[in-house]
């Protein structure tokens, strides 16, 4: 078997018999999915985007390889049966001589390449594949698995001894269902849709790297990618309008997930108006004369979140950078902040006012230690009612301005942690004018709240001077004036 050429990797998969095309992927996302070179790829979003045929078509290019061994999974046997029926319509027309074994639940090509089709509805079912190896593994409707256990375990079964046979894991799904949260965290949150990124740890968010002592120590392991698709990307369903009509009739929550492919919709969300399509933008060069400032929520045992803001002439707020770290001392965080903003004119910084509290009888506070490093701050407002006021101001910032017809705040799409956190924050069920303070991922939100409540303006930003200030924020430390 000759090595697969780059052209074979990237061209649309099709089989032609008597000049009739048996299968041709839809232009756009479906073709991108079949040509993707990343180790792990998720395809989906809205219902009707052609996910099932995409997951069936993807392993077809390798079935002619005698050493190909693939595995396509559904969550239950009932769901698997529908996938098998579709494969029985497609595969014999593509590969004359290919045979289906009901007993083995396996397709075998004349070349010897094999594709198993099976189910995996319990975590312990992964043990059925212990000792086996596959060069291609696919999960159809990935969010039906409530935890990432099966996906992570099956990665250990992924290997190939043939140099011309790459190894891939592929998944398709809609937003929602039991596994929505972990799939979103693994594939949606780390990078903008369609962009390739190094695989991250779902718990820490850090890029996974080769361990100490390995010949590739410190290098990232492999890449992932999420390829979104909408109903409009599938002309066979979109043209009639019947399927769209059905999706439009669904309740708002389901409609946004299945028709719009919106991963940020969550029941009980504090900020349901947040929309990535409206509130996130590609990074651009910010003019040097625009007001810039930063805000920080500090935590050593949990996370520290720092956000950088710019104010446009029309007073639109732009969140253009984020820093999200854990187990970092105040002095080290100060150095990281100053390094990130080197060469910029930062008007002021707003820091959680509790950082001025003395920890013990002697020694500088967290804020003082950062200021002594040259990273200057002023205390954020944490007075009674400030949380509610901050939430209300964020609602206002997420609105589209009637005059400019633009949202009053946008976020650069490289601020992935803030973009991931904001739509997932739940509302407090007993105090609905605030978010639930028990959530763990509110650090970027607190930094955002401190920033937007600092009254940023594009023309003349309030210059904090303790010697002339008569009203406003109370000076927390007379030595440093912040």
> Residue 249: its pLDDT value, please?
64
Contact 193, 199 (CB under 8 A): no
Which tens digit of pLDDT belongs to each residue from 345-386? 999 999 999 998 866 656 789 999 999 999 999 999 888 889
> Residue 203: its pLDDT value, please?
76
Give me the mean pLDDT over the 177-188 stretch: 88
Cα distances (Å, whole numbers) of residue 406 to 17, 97, 119, 389? 52, 58, 47, 23
13 pLDDT band (50/70/90 cuts)?
very low
How far apart CA 36 and CA 33 sit, in angstroms, is 5
Give me the mean pLDDT over the 75-88 stretch: 90
> Residue 396: its pLDDT value, please?
94
Which tens digit of pLDDT belongs to each residue from 282-330? 999 999 999 999 999 999 888 999 999 999 999 999 999 999 999 999 9
How far apart CA 50 and CA 87 sit, in angstroms, is 14
Higher pLDDT, 448 or 1: 448
How far apart CA 339 and CA 329 sit, in angstroms, is 15
> Residue 259: its pLDDT value, please?
61
For the cut 50, the answer to whether the pLDDT of residue 466 exceeds it is no
Question: Three-state secondary structure along 28-87?
Answer: CHHHHHHHCCCCEEEEEECCCCCHHHHHHHHHHHHCCCCCCEEEEEECCHHHHHHHHHHH
Give me the mean pLDDT over the 131-152 stretch: 93
How far apart CA 122 and CA 126 sit, in angstroms, is 8
Cα distances (Å, whole numbers) of residue 342 to 128, 190, 309, 325, 346? 55, 25, 15, 19, 9
Phi, psi angles (nearest 5°) of residue 8: -65, -30
> Residue 94: its pLDDT value, please?
86
Give me the mean pLDDT over the 275-280 stretch: 91
Residue with tokens 């398709």: 172
Which tens digit of pLDDT belongs to each residue from 22-51? 667 777 888 899 999 999 999 987 665 578
Q: Which helix (H) or strand (E) holds 16?
A: strand 16-17
Percent of the chain with pLDDT over 90: 53
Contact 163, 217 (CB under 8 A): no
> Residue 409: its pLDDT value, please?
96
Q: Which helix (H) or strand (E) holds 256?
A: helix 252-258
User: Cβ-count burial of 467 within 10 angstroms (0-12 exposed, 13-18 middle, 19+ buried)?
Assistant: exposed
- Chain mean pLDDT for the chain: 84
> Residue 30: its pLDDT value, please?
87
> Residue 249 corresponds to which tokens in the numbers above?
């009739």
């Amino acid at each position: 078997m000759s090595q697969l050429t780059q052209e074979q990797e990237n061209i649309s998969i099709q089989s032609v018999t008597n000049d009739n095309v048996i299968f041709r992927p839809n232009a756009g996302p479906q073709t991108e999915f079949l040509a993707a070179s990343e180790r792990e790829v998720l395809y989906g979003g809205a219902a009707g985007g052609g996910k099932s045929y995409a997951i069936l078509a993807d392993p077809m290019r390798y079935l002619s390889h005698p050493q190909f061994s693939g595995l396509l999974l559904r969550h239950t046997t009932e769901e698997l049966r529908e996938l098998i029926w579709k494969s029985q319509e497609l595969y014999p027309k593509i590969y004359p001589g290919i045979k289906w074994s009901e007993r083995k639940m396996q397709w075998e090509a004349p070349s010897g390449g094999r594709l198993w089709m099976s189910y995996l509805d319990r975590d312990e079912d992964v043990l059925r594949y212990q000792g086996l190896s596959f060069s291609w593994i696919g999960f159809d409707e990935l969010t039906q698995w409530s935890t990432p256990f099966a996906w992570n375990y099956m990665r250990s079964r992924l290997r190939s001894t043939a140099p011309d046979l790459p190894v891939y894991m592929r998944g398709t799904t809609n937003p929602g269902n039991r596994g929505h949260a972990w799939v979103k965290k693994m594939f949606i949150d780390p990078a903008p849709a369609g962009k390739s990124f190094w695989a991250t740890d779902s718990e820490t968010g850090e890029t996974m790297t080769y361990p100490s002592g390995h010949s590739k120590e410190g290098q990232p392991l492999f890449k992932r990618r999420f390829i979104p698709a909408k109903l409009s990307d599938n002309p066979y369903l979109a043209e009639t309008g019947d399927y769209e009509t059905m999706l439009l009739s669904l309740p708002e929550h389901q409609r946004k997930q299945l028709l719009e492919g919106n991963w940020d919709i969550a029941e009980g969300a504090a900020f349901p108006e947040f929309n990535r399509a409206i509130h996130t933008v590609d990074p651009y060069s910010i003019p040097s004369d625009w007001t810039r400032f930063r805000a920080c929520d500090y935590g050593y045992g949990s996370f520290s979140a720092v956000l950088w803001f710019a104010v446009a002439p029309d007073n639109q707020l732009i969140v253009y950078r984020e820093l999200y770290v854990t187990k970092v001392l105040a002095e080290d965080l100060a150095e990281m902040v100053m390094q990130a903003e080197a060469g910029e004119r930062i008007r002021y910084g707003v820091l959680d006012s509790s950082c001025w509290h003395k920890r013990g009888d002697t020694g500088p506070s967290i804020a003082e230690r950062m200021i002594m490093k040259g990273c200057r701050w002023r205390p954020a407002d944490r007075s009674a009612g400030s949380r509610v006021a901050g939430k209300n101001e964020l609602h206002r910032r997420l609105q589209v301005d009637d005059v400019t017809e633009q949202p009053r705040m946008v976020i650069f799409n490289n601020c992935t942690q803030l973009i991931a956190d904001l739509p997932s924050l739940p509302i407090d069920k007993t105090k609905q004018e605030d978010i639930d303070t028990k959530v763990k991922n509110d650090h970027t939100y607190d930094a955002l709240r401190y920033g937007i409540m600092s009254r940023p303006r594009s023309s003349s930003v309030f210059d904090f001077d303790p010697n002339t200030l008569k009203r406003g924020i109370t000076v927390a430390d007379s030595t440093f004036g912040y």
